[in-house]
Structure 1
């Protein structure tokens, strides 16, 4: 089935037109619709992406073979919905904008869940690394403040307040160092847990799909 699409604006301003186009003029002129459909499916786009292709090519008065596009898109969906892609999507926190075919969905979904478990473990490590960085910055800040505090240049009346401030900085620095030790321990535990999850997840993947992810 072929039809002509009227040109429509897809962006708020012409300046952004090229960035918003689903296909280039050259792709429209080449007319390799199965390849375009397959590529869009492999990028996770839904079948409704076709309408944007029709609009973009219509802007150049070029017809789209929608049947050929959808044939390629369906092939792309089947190529997308593999256990390996499911695992990668789970680890990356992604999901395609379509549902996998019924015969492929169970394997894709199970692999995605395994990848999601590893992502959660990676995220916990990242959170603890951030905590450790924050603790180090606080120690550096307090150390600099303590080093810059010179009570010898104060008047007799000011020295009492200055010494109290120094004592407070030392207490806060001691607490910050304790917090950093705690952050180091938490990071070690998070990494240990991440390594254990990695071994468990990859073993489960290998048992299910007879290959390591």
Structure 2
């Protein structure tokens, strides 16, 4: 039956996509189709309360039985293991909107997707940390060179040269510290990269 809904949904602007249903929408509503669209979009069955609110102003009450039938069929399209994985991989949330019959399959994929998302996020973080360290080292090297030239330039008094010398010393200390952390940063990046690649391979069946 849901194949008919899919065909209709592909060529019809469904009422449930609208922010509010007007009088004409409510009077001509196909509640089974609206339920299907809500379910296929991952909206909870309780979303019918919004339609009820919209249509009560026009003296129309949703056909709850038809809505639930449609919502159940639509939920079959949303609450799949693959869709759960894709949503978890994008860092999206799950709002307990799958019927009990489909929830376990959805959550299996969703959990795997969340895990891979978390590993990718960690990998990006490690890459950013390593890149920031290299950028700061480049800046320090450039700054130290500039200040070294300034310190020996003509026109500076002794106190000014001392100030520049101290600044160079501070930058050199920062430089030594960063060089001392590079190995650890590289190792953390490589570990995160390997872990992500292994997980990506593990979940390649999705």
For 1:123-142, what aligned pairs fall within 5 Å after superposition? 123-142=121-140
Q: 1:168 aligns with which of 167, 170, 176?
A: 170
**What is aligned with 2:6?**
none
Distance in structure 1 (CA, Å) of the matches to 2:28 and 2:134: 57
| Mapped contact 2:84–2:109 kept (Cα < 8 A) | yes
1:92 correspondence with 2:94: no
Aligned-pair CA distance for 1:166:
1.0
Q: How big is each residue's C-alpha offset from its partner over 1:131-168, in whole Å with a ceiling of 9 and x where there is no partner?
A: 12332342344345334422124312332332232122
Aligned-pair CA distance for 1:75:
1.5
**What is aligned with 1:186?**
188
Aligned-pair CA distance for 1:49:
1.0
Distance in structure 2 (CA, Å) of the matches to 1:139 and 1:117: 33
For 1:137-156, what aligned pairs fall within 5 Å after superposition? 137-149=135-147, 150-153=150-153, 154-156=156-158
| Mapped contact 2:45–2:97 kept (Cα < 8 A) | no
| Mapped contact 2:40–2:74 kept (Cα < 8 A) | yes
- Give the CA RMSD over aligned residues: 2.8
**What is aligned with 1:74?**
72
Unaligned segments of structure 2, at least 5 residues: 1-17
Unaligned segments of structure 1, at least 5 residues: 1-20, 203-211
Residues matched between the structures, number: 184
| Mapped contact 1:124–1:190 kept (Cα < 8 A) | yes
**What is aligned with 1:207?**
none
Aligned-pair CA distance for 1:181:
4.9
Distance in structure 2 (CA, Å) of the matches to 1:172 and 1:192: 30
| Mapped contact 1:47–1:73 kept (Cα < 8 A) | yes
Q: How big is each residue's C-alpha offset from its partner over 1:21-70, in whole Å with a ceiling of 9 and x where there is no partner?
A: 644547546513222222222222212211112223445x2623333222
Q: 1:40 aligns with which of 38, 41, 55?
A: 38
The answer to which of 150-159 and 192-201 deviates more is: 150-159
Q: What is the TM-score with the length of structure 1 in the denominator?
A: 0.71
1:50 correspondence with 2:52: no
Q: What is the TM-score with the length of structure 2 in the denominator?
A: 0.73
Change (3 A) 1:103 1:175: same
